[in-house]
């Protein structure tokens, strides 16, 4: 971890100052894009592994997260901002082409970037999220207590989170999202109430890890991080070209609650994703949860390095 270096660059999209962690050197570059409630640190195991394999690993805090500055106009924030930030990272560091690795909602700007800047992408690795054509109504039939629906409600998450300190909020989300069931609250409870205070952290997530996350969320708060994935409008849905040219490795966790979202498992196993991705490889980690890169780092690292070596 001590070998990981830190710097800042500026994105042309709103002039946002972005924090970047990196390790390794050379022309073979891998950029890691995190999800929620993660930060650059969630890729620590993968960064070190690909650097040892001869690659330059770069992991930003997305705008609004960690040590990066918040969205300058929060209400208008969208995934397009993250796409522009990926471009800014490559341009600022004079990187013509890179492999992109995304996880959770971080896979979506990775896919979008590959559609809008295909010449800059050597390959894509997505942990847990297949490429899906935009459909704002995809999960409309899930119950009212569905966590995404709850967090879309104005002020709902803010009121829920205000009852706890930052460390408890991060702890509860990690415990909740590590389960294999979709987080759906009862009518008389909030999302944070779904985790009992006596429930231990997942064995692969240490108190030191929790403290690292909590420190950075003390800096950013939760409003800016949650805006794009949960509260914002999907402005990028106007994209008409839905054919991904780059090779894609999709890694799904058998115990990831996202696999139980309506239609997801059938979509992945049926091969329908090949309608949009011609060069697709799908791997399943039977015990993998939503945080497989932290839970099973050796297995995930092996899959990533193998894919990179095949497509360099």
DSSP track, 30-72: EEEE--SS--GGGGHHHHHHHHHTT-EEEEEPPTTSTTSPPPS
Separation CA 106–CA 109 (nearest Å): 6
Distance from the first to the final alpha carbon of the chain: 26
Domains of the chain: 5-310 (3.40.50.1820)
pLDDT digits (tens, 9 = 90+) for 195-208: 999 999 999 999 99
Phi, psi of 52 (to 5 degrees): -65, -25
pLDDT digits (tens, 9 = 90+) for 73-110: 888 888 999 999 999 999 999 999 999 999 999 999 99
Separation CA 238–CA 290 (nearest Å): 29
Closest CA to 292 of 175, 178, 171: 178
Query: CA 264 → CA 44, 261, 286, 300, distances in Å?
Result: 28, 6, 16, 21
How many CA within 13 A on the CB side of residue 197?
A: 4
Closest CA to 104 of 262, 270, 223, 259: 259
The tens place of each residue's pLDDT in the chain, 312 residues long, gives 679 999 999 987 678 999 999 999 989 999 999 999 999 999 999 999 999 999 999 999 999 999 999 988 888 888 999 999 999 999 999 999 999 999 999 999 999 999 999 999 999 999 999 999 887 778 888 999 999 999 999 899 999 999 999 999 999 999 999 999 999 999 999 999 999 999 999 999 999 999 999 999 998 999 999 998 888 756 655 677 899 999 999 999 999 999 999 999 999 999 999 999 999 999 999 999 999 999 999 999 999 999 999 998
């Amino acid at each position: 971890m001590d070998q990981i270096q830190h710097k800042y660059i500026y994105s042309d999209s709103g002039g946002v100052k972005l924090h970047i962690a990196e390790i390794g050197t050379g022309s073979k570059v891998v950029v890691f894009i995190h999800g929620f409630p993660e930060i650059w640190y969630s890729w620590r195991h993968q960064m070190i592994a690909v650097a040892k394999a001869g690659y330059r690993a770069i992991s930003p805090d997305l705008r609004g997260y960690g040590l990066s500055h918040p969205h300058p106009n929060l209400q208008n924030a969208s995934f397009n901002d993250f796409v522009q930030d990926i471009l800014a990272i490559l341009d600022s560091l004079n990187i013509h082409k890179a492999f992109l690795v995304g996880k959770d909602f971080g896979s979506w700007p990775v896919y979008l970037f590959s559609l809008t800047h295909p010449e800059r992408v050597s390959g894509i690795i997505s942990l847990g999220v297949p490429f899906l054509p935009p459909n704002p109504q995809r999960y409309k039939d899930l119950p009212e207590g569905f966590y995404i629906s709850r967090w879309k409600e104005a002020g709902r998450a803010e009121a829920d989170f205000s009852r706890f300190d930052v460390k408890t909020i991060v702890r509860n989300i990690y415990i909740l999202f590590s389960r294999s069931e979709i987080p759906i609250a009862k009518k008389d409870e909030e999302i944070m109430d779904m985790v009992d205070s006596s429930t231990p952290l997942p064995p692969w997530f240490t108190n030191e890890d929790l403290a690292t996350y909590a420190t950075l969320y003390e800096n950013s708060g939760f409003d800016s991080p949650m805006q794009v994935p949960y509260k914002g409008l999907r402005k990028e849905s106007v994209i008409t070209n839905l054919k991904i040219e780059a090779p894609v490795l999709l890694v799904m966790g058998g115990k990831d609650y996202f696999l139980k979202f309506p239609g997801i498992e059938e979509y992945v196993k049926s091969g329908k994703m090949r309608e949009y991705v011609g060069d697709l490889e799908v791997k399943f980690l039977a015990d993998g949860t939503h945080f497989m890169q932290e839970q099973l780092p050796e297995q995930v690292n092996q899959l990533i390095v193998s894919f990179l070596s095949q497509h360099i």
